[in-house]
Amino acid sequence: MTRKEVTHLIKQKAIEIGFSKAGVTTAEPFDEAADRFEAWVARGAHGVMQWMERDHEKRRDVRNILPGAKSILSLALNYYQDYQDEGDDHLKISRYAWGTDYHEIIPPMLRELLAEIQKLVPEAEGRYYTDTGPLLEKTIAERAGVGWQGKHTNLITRELGSWVFLAEIILTIELEPDPPAEDLCGTCTRCLDACPTDALTPYEIDATRCISYLTIELKPEHKIPESLAPKMDGWIYGCDICQDVCPWNRFSEPSGIAEFAPREENLHLTHEEIERMDQEEFSRRFRKSPVKRTKLAGLKRNSDL
């Protein structure tokens, strides 16, 4: 088979397994994006996320992860749920955390896809990731034509908007690369204007001001800064404001992954419920949920704002 035919079959298999989009780029270094990322970290905009201070050489060049790498398969998985939250009498959880943690769902899909690739090309070696390794995921997806990094810094796809998880398989075989995605944000600034904590400037985020960072990454023992606490807008885990206002998300379609469906009892949490919650109930409610990351102490801290 030709390189083009193999690439087509791999993408086709990715869709059959359940991914929403697939694109390919080369394993050439990401020097420009790596320079920007390293400068962003040097300014301290990453806050307490210390893992971002390590492995810069791997982010810059994936061949430092997998020697002999020639291609990167970039994948997107739609997680959108067509549930409209009405009323503001309860606390809010980011849409990506309404159901099962994507780290429970995507790795088995990647494992299956890599096995299928190796059936097609037995000599192929691969490493796969979904937000678990030192990769510039959004830059990879952009260069692979999957979507572009919007002004809110999330990846936007033409077909599905920004409600997508990203994953990658680094491969030692040459595949047919896709043309990079075009930035279609234009003059729109809705995401920048809507952010209540002013965490966003075009194409860059100050994580230390971001509601998602404050409610998830900031450890329970740390206080949310007094200047930002009144601006949390009822969010206790993550934040979707910049995505909710993005015009491209009018193209969103419900995900076909049943595990991402909302857990109804977690959609209308109140301050009183969280105040009464003990560890046993927290563990039951949020089993295999992303919310477990913040721990009960973090959820209580976020609720107290």
- Indicate which residues carry an active-site annotation: 131
CA angle, 257 as apex, 76 and 287 as ends, to 5°?
105
Q: Which helix (H) or strand (E) holds 37?
A: helix 31-42
d(CA 191, CA 150): 9
State the amino acid at position 119 in one-letter form: K
Residues with Cβ within 8 Å of 62's Cβ and at least 6 positions away in sequence, in order, are: 27, 69, 72, 135, 170
The residues that bridge with 74 in the sheet, in sequence order, are 23, 168
Residue 75 phi, psi dihedral angles, 5° rounding: -130, 145
- DSSP annotation of 77 reads E
Residue 235 phi, psi dihedral angles, 5° rounding: -80, 125
| Of 246, 301, 266, the residue nearest 96 (C-alpha) | 266
State the amino acid at position 104 in one-letter form: E
- DSSP annotation of 213 reads I
The residues that bridge with 25 in the sheet, in sequence order, are 72
| Of 199, 195, 192, the residue nearest 213 (C-alpha) | 199
CB distance 78 to 253 below 8 Å: yes
